[in-house]
Each structure stands twice: as C-alpha cells, then as structure tokens.
Structure 1
Amino acid sequence: MSNTIKASVLAIAVSAASGSALAVEAMSMKIADGLEFTPTLKVTESYDDNFREVENNEESSWITRISPTLALTAYGRKSEYVLAYTADSDTFHSSHKDNNTDHHLTGDAGFRFNARNQLVLNAGYHKVEETTSATPGVQGDKYNSKNIGGVYTYGVETARAQIDFGADYKELRYDNTGLRSNGTRLNSEKERDATALRSTLYYRLGAKTRALAELRHTDYSYVSAKSLDATNLAFLGGLTWDATAKTTGTVKFGREKKEFDRNINDDQSGGMWEAGITWQPRTYSTFGLKARRALDEGENGASAIQATSTTLDWKHYWLDRVYSIASYTRSEQDYIDDTVNNRLDKTDIFGLGLNYEMRRWLDIGVGYKYAENDSNVVNESYERNIYSISFTASL
C-alpha cells in the first residue's frame, strides 16, 4: 500500500477518534498476519476556574480526564483499515453532576487500485456532552453526530494534473430531553443533516508546488428549523507546496454564497479563505499558521455566523526529549440576522505547554491556557484559566 494512502488513513483515524495526534511512539500488538492492535491511555488533571464560560457567578473545579484509545489496524496488499474508539471520561471534583463521558468511534479505509486510482473512506459516531452553558447551574448540551464520506483521487501526485472528488454526509442530533415553556424541545432548532460534495483540481507548477482550484457544494436540511434550510456554494483557488524554502503549506482564497430555501432570511455571500503553513527554520524549531474565514451555521437566533480565526503556534525542542509549545488564537464571530442583539464575539486564546518525552511509551506534559471572550451582548463575555498536567502512555 502506498505511503500516501497509509498516512491519510492513519491521520484521519487518529484525529477523528482523539482530536489530536498521539505524542508517544505507540507500539502495536500483532494479533495475526496483517492485523494489529494499538492501545494508548492519556490521563489529565486540570484546574479550570470557569468551566461554564460565563461572565458572572463562575464555577471552578479540579477535573480528572481519563482517555483510553483502542485502535485495530488491518493491512491488505493494496488496502488498509483502521477501527478506533476513544472515551473521554471527565470527573468534576467540585460538581459531580457534571461528570460525563464522551464516546468517539471511527472507521477508516484506504484503497490503492493502481498508480492513478486511490480511495479513502471514513465514518464516525460521536456522543458528546458539553459543560459550558449560558446559565450557571444548567446542564450543558448533549448531542451525537454521525458521518460517512470519502475522497477518490485520480492521477499521480507527481504528474502534471491530479483531481480529487469528495463526498460527506453528517447528522447532528441533540439528546437533551428538557422542554421549554412553549412546549418545544431544547436545541431542536439546531438538529440538521448536511450533504457535502467537493472537487479539487491540482496543476503542477514546479517540482514541489501545485496550483489548485476547488468547488464545494453543501446542502443543509434542518429537522424542525426549516427556515434555515440552505445551500452553500464556494469556489477557491490557491497553492500547495511541500518543503520549499523550509516551508510546507496550503493556501486557498475565494468566495462563498449561502442561499436559503425560503425567503425568510437574506442570502449571504462574501470572501472565504483557508490557510495552513508550517515553517521549520531549524530541525528543532517549528512555526505554524492556520487561518480561516467562512460562513458557519447559525445559532441563538442568527441565520448564519461569519467566522474568522487565526492561530499561530511555535514548537521548540530545548533538549532531545524536552519541548515547549506556545500558541495564540484570535477569532471573531459575527451573528448574521441577529436583529435583537446584533451579536459580535471576539475571542483571544493563549496557550503554553512543556512536554517531556520520558520514555518511548510515556510522555509527561504541563500546560496553561487563558481564554477571553469579548461580546457586545450582556452576560456573554467571560475569562477562563486552565492549568493542567497530563500523562500519555502506550505499550
């Protein structure tokens, strides 16, 4: 199986199941020829001084998170399959009613039919409970999401041209059973299905640089809030390059339009961009930039949210097995058609961590994160500090 397909399958599986790449070099157990089992465990102890993200009457707690991940990998001559499960169990020592466990189950498969035809498939089920809430003492949202999709690639990456065809289907459902005073179910207006199609054409400009043109079509169908049914169309153009002048990255710029099925809300359009760039001036020091501007789905009375975010991070090895990570994120959320509040949120997040690769199978990390949200709506601003220590272990 090609390294491209194998890397794609493993990356999708890990990110979907655990939300981040594994820090340790996990060793797999061979169950049979072409079949491996990989368990990992992460334990985090943190202190959160505002775990509900509220402006007044903040609640704080020590929180213990235990996150085991189990991955089963099967290899074929031209295929690979990964089934992964992660549980995130949180114990709030000052608020036991908020104890919860999130479940993430993902399945991924990669196929290389021949040199010019490759296919990566993915599916997932996620059951999540949030502890943030607009009102102290109110239990956070509970929801589950399901997705299935894939990307078919025609052409060789080193050829003059290559094209991707992608499709994805997602369902979002809420498990909150409480009723409002008007008899409607809490969060029912957020439940939706999304069907997305994408096509990306790559054209080689040099040995390590390719131009790209991308077309996206996403159809949103809401279960009860039918006024939010809409179709998003986006066209993007840009560049992608690998290890050119010590940088690797992809940048895309274009426009996006959101057309509502009904005339209750105004159609929206505007500029859109996505960027991910890595710069490595030294083998032991890496800088990263991620930026995004797009129309997200609306909530709290808005028909859509114009979201803009930029993240800068720096990873630096001070010793062979000791490294730090510093990051800063700036984001803005402009709530469109929110005629009551005309809401605009501006959020700054600072993060700092120090990690020690104690053994091949064991990492120890300490971290601090500060978040501040500045909103023009009363009681929606907040400040939050999180201090943590974590242990990640494998075989």
Structure 2
Amino acid sequence: MKKNIFVSQALFYIIFSVLVGSVTAEEGGRIHIGNLKVIPGLKIQEVYDDNIYLANGTNDSYEAKESDWIFHIKPEVTFDYTFHERGGLKLAYFGDLAYYGEYSSNDWQKHEVLFDLDYKAPGGFIVGINNTYVNTDDPYSTANDYKLGVPLTKRWYNDMAGKVGYEFSRRFRVLAFYNFFKQDYKEEVDFTQDYRVNEVGMGVEVRLLPKTWGFVRYHFGERDYYTHPPGTGVTESNDSDFDSQRVNLGINWDTRAKLSGEVNFGYLWKKYDNVYDSNGDPYEDKDTWIASTFVSYKATDKTGVSLNITRALRESYSDTNEYFTDTGIGITLQQKFMDKFTLTPGVSYSNNDYNKPDNESREDNNYRANIDLDYQIQDWLKAGVGYAYDRKDSNYLEYDYTDNRFMISLSGIY
C-alpha cells in the first residue's frame, strides 16, 4: 500500500512536469530573470537491488543477501547567476528520497546544498568559493567505507574549498587556498568518524597553450578528531589526529576547451600527533605519492570519454592506528546515436591496501561496471534504463560482497 501511494505521487509529478515543461519549452526551456537562470528538475527512479545490505551471502543470518525494490524521488533546483564574461554564482539543492518496497524501515533521505562562486575581475583579481553541505542517512558510507551497506547511518558533512589570487597578463597566476571539511555522525557509537580538517596552501599557474595551464601547489593541513565519549578510552592524547603536507603538479584546461578537468599528481607526508593509539599500538608516519585526476575529452558533438585516477591515504577510525592506501582508475564513454539516444558505459577498479601486520594483512579489490541508455523525449525530458555491478574481493571474507542493480528512470530539467 505504501509503495502504491508513492507511485501515485510520482505519476502526479510526471504529469505536472509535462505540463510545466510544455510551457517552458515554448519559452526556450529555461526561466530567465535578467542574468539569473532558475533551473528546476525532478527525477523518479525505480531500482531493483539484489543485495541491499552488501552482504557476503554466507549462511550466517547477519550476512544473508536480501533483495528489494527501491523507489527514488529526486527533486532539484539551481539558481545560476552569470557575471558577464567574469564567472558566475550558483546556489543549488539536490534531494534523494528513497522508499523500499519490502524493507520499508530502511527508507532514507539525502539532502545536498551547493554554493559555488567563481569570479575574475577585469584587473586580474580572482576569487572562488565552493561549498557543499550534505545531510543523509543513506547506506553508501564515505570514502573509508565505514558501515558500508548499513541502513540509517545518520550523518552530515560540509566540504568547502576557497581560493583568492591574481592573474598577470593572462599568462601567470598566483593563488592562495583555504579548505575546510567537517563530518559529524548523529549516534555516539559512530564517534570514531567525527572529525574536522583545516588546510591552507599556495600555488602558481602558468599558461602553456591558449587553453591549457600548468600548476604547482603546496598545502599544509590538520585533521582533528573532536569526539571522545567517556568510557571509550579515546582521548586527545591517543586519538589519530595528524598533520599533513602535500605537493601537487599538473595541468588543467579552460572551460571551453575540448579537454576539461585536471591532471593532478603529487606527494603526501602524514605525521601523527600522538605516539600510541587507544589500544597501545604505535602510530606510523607515512609518505607516498597521491593522485586526484579527472579528465574529460569531447571528441565530437556525439562522442565523449572521461578518465579518472585516484590515490589517497584514508584513515579508518579515531581509536586505532589503521589506515589504508586507496588506488583507483576508471573510464567512462558517452556516445549519442540516432539523435535521441545516449549510451554511457563505464568501468572502474580500485585497490585498498591496509597497514595491518604481515600476519593479519588485509587487501581489498573493488570492481565496478555500469551501463546506461537514455532516450531524449524532449529537450527537457528524458527516460533511461541502466545496470550497475559492484564487487569487493577481500582476503577477509566478512568484507566480500557482490551487488547487481537494475534501474529505470524518468527525469526532467527545464
């Protein structure tokens, strides 16, 4: 009954979208108020997931695989203000409301607010602020896979990246950076994931080609775990706070180039504040190469390809000395055909190498693949089907899983 109610609501939204979309399509498909564009959107999606808890499928009841249908309603709205030839200001909201067919106690919501300012003054002054706030209880974890697959893990995080600088003669830029990140879990049992990061940096960019820039950047950062519940044995004198320094080199492109994104490789040094963790095990300072590369190439109006390469050190908890090296690569192809259809296949692989002792070593291999087919019904309305495959192979059996998801959706952005 509950699912039927949501399906009825979804049908109402579709009809409403079609009616509103028909009006706006005649007006050009966008709402304009001077330099301001208001862009509302809505996506409804039905997903069949054959392993909603990402269990390994053993006979143990805790690891039994369960499947379900999950219905998503994803509203969004973007306010986009353009500074003529000088950049822009965006404020956006993205929502995801998920409703399970059988396991309705797992229903979750995700709310995301984005603020983005990018401005370059006529004299060469540059300022940029990008801030993302997310409040969610979805089961998809964070970068360190904490409670991956566990429903209703309530948390929020705020991720801000700021820069100011100056461009000389359109050939040379000097920039200063400030980044801030904070993550907070609602339940005290998840206190090992509560932390904040402050990072400052500076960089130089040089124009190499008309639309290509080379850069070098230096950052110094501090991570502080700020929750220490009484009785846990975790204090400021044994938690996994650390300082980090990193140097990055790479190239990026102006937004109107066929190539977009950034090639970014570097080196990281991490030094812990404390000598021992709450279990009496010593912390191990670490240095290694890192990467944060994402490049898209638009070969033709109908064909595009993107490549991402990542490498990072990821902390597991505030109460242990455990961390892992996360190294990954992925590629996605986008191909339009017959005017109305777009096919998007993608594959990725990552390796998680943990710093456990040799006799307890842990290594995870993660494999992902997806394929999506979209049909453009109108310039503001499209339908899609998709499939996603996700597998983790670990030498610790309890972390293994295989997940298959089948999706069908209808979305409109006007």
Contact 1:51 1:132 in 2 (8 A): no
Offset of residue 341 of structure 1: 4.2
Match of 1:145 in 2: 157
**What is the one-letter code of the residue matched to 1:71?**
T
Aligned to 1:213: 216
Once residues 121 and 209 of structure 1 are traced to their aligned partners in structure 2, the CA distance between those partners, rounded to angstroms, is 22
Paired with 1:323 and 1:249, the residues of 2 have a C-alpha distance of 22
One-letter identity of the residue aligned with 1:230: F
Distance in 2 between residues matched to 1:29 and 1:205, nearest whole Å: 38
Identity %: 21
Contact preservation (8 Å) 1:52, 1:132 = no
SS in 1 for 2:192: helix
Q: From the superposition, tell whether residues 249 and 112 of structure 1 become closer, same or farther in structure 2 (CA, over 3 Å).
A: closer
Are positions 1:254 and 2:266 aligned together?
yes
Change (3 A) 1:388 1:302: farther
**What is the SS of the residue equivalent to 1:55?**
coil
Tell me the equivalent position of 1:310.
Answer: 329
Alignment of 1:177-326 (within 5 A): 185-223=188-226, 224=228, 226=236, 227-241=239-253, 247-248=259-260, 250-264=262-276, 265-299=283-317, 301=320, 303-326=322-345
Letter matched to residue 180 of structure 2: Y
Query: What are the within-5 Å matches in structure 2 for residues 15-54 of structure 1?
Result: 27-30=29-32, 32-54=33-55
Report whether the alignment pairs 1:350 with 2:369: yes
How far off its partner does 1:228 sit?
1.0
Deviation sequence 1:103-161 (CA, Å, 0-9, x none): 112223343333411212233321111335999996442101123442223105x7332
Cα distance change, pair 339–232 in 1 and its aligned pair in 2 (3 A): farther
Rate the CA distance shift 1:390–1:340 in 2: closer, same or farther, 3 A. farther
Distance 1:34 1:136, change over 3 A: closer
Cα distance change of structure 1 residues 338 and 222 upon mapping to structure 2, 3 Å threshold: farther
1:207–1:132: structure 2 CA closer, same or farther, 3 Å change rule?
A: closer
CA deviations 1:52-106 (Å, max 9, x no partner) are 1110201111011101012234456767433222221000102000011111122
Deviation at 1:36, TM superposition (A): 4.0
Distance 2:31 2:217 in 1: 41
Q: Is the 8 A contact 1:302 1:335 kept in 2?
A: no
SS at match of 2:53: coil
Unaligned runs of 5+ in 1: 1-24, 177-184
AA in 2 matched with 1:125: Y
1:324–1:75 distance in 2 versus 1, CA, 3 Å: closer
Q: Does the CA contact (< 8 Å) of 1:131 and 1:140 recur in 2? A: yes
Higher helix share: 2
Shift of 1:281: 4.0
Cα 1:27–1:151, aligned 2, differ >3 Å: closer, same or farther? farther
Is the strand fraction higher in 1 or 2? 1
What is the CA distance between 1:259 and its match in structure 2? Answer: 0.6
Give the secondary structure class of the aligned counterpart of 2:361.
coil
When normalised by structure 1's length, the TM-score is 0.82
SS of the residue aligned with 2:221? strand
Alpha-carbon displacement from aligned partner over 1:316-343 (angstroms, at most 9, x marks no partner): 1122121101100101112224788432
1:29 counterpart letter in structure 2: I
What SS class does the counterpart of residue 105 from structure 2 fall into? helix
Q: Provide closer, same or farther for how the CA distance between residues 111 and 65 of structure 1 changes in structure 2, counting only shifts above 3 A.
A: same
Partner of 2:129: 121
Aligned residue identity for 1:61: D
Tell me the C-alpha RMSD between the 2 structures: 3.0
For residues 137 and 203 of structure 1, do their structure 2 counterparts lie closer, same or farther at Cα, with a shift above 3 Å needed?
Answer: closer
Q: Tell me, yes or no, if the aligned pair for 1:104 and 1:126 is still in contact at 8 Å.
A: yes
Aligned to 1:62, which of 62, 66, 69? 69
Structure 2 residue identity aligned to 1:59: E
Residue 16 of structure 1 corresponds to none
Larger radius of gyration: 2
SS class of match (2:406)? strand
The residue identity in structure 2 corresponding to 1:360 is D
Q: Distance in 2 between matches of 1:173 and 1:340?
A: 34
Residue 91 (structure 2) aligns with: 83
CA distance in 1, matches of 2:362, 2:136: 26
Q: CA deviation at 1:218?
A: 2.0
- Pair 209,348 (structure 1): closer, same or farther in 2 beyond 3 Å: same
How many Å separate the matches in 1 of 2:149 and 2:412?
35
